[in-house]
Amino acid sequence: MVNLAHVLIEGTTDWECSEFSRYDLGQAVAHMSIQGLAVGLDAHQFRAFGREAVAAEFGVPSDWKVASMTAFGVAAHAAGGVAAPGNSRERATIRDITWARI
């Protein structure tokens, strides 16, 4: 899925459509990801691709900007089955992660 933000008003060159368009897109992608989970799909949002190439391939109008993509599917492993940074159930203490010393 290609995630687009409507950033400029159609027919103008530089009038902003909405200062919240990228925020709104983030909310939409988040809700789409949660809905995917509800129907048994995993979601992975990513930005490592050529945005201009995707826009050209799909004829995205200039008032819209390609922001990210989301892959939906079923993981080939069980939940928690792949060890990776950030998915450990071990948690740092508040003292370890803050500068404030309570």
- How many whole angstroms separate alpha carbon 75 and alpha carbon 100? 39
CA 95 from centroid of its chain's CA atoms: 31
What pLDDT score does 84 carry?
A: 63
What pLDDT score does 80 carry?
A: 64
What pLDDT score does 12 carry?
A: 62
Give per-residue pLDDT as tens, 18-72: 777 888 899 999 999 999 999 989 999 999 999 999 999 999 988 889 999 999 9
What pLDDT score does 89 carry?
A: 65
- How many whole angstroms separate alpha carbon 3 and alpha carbon 22? 10
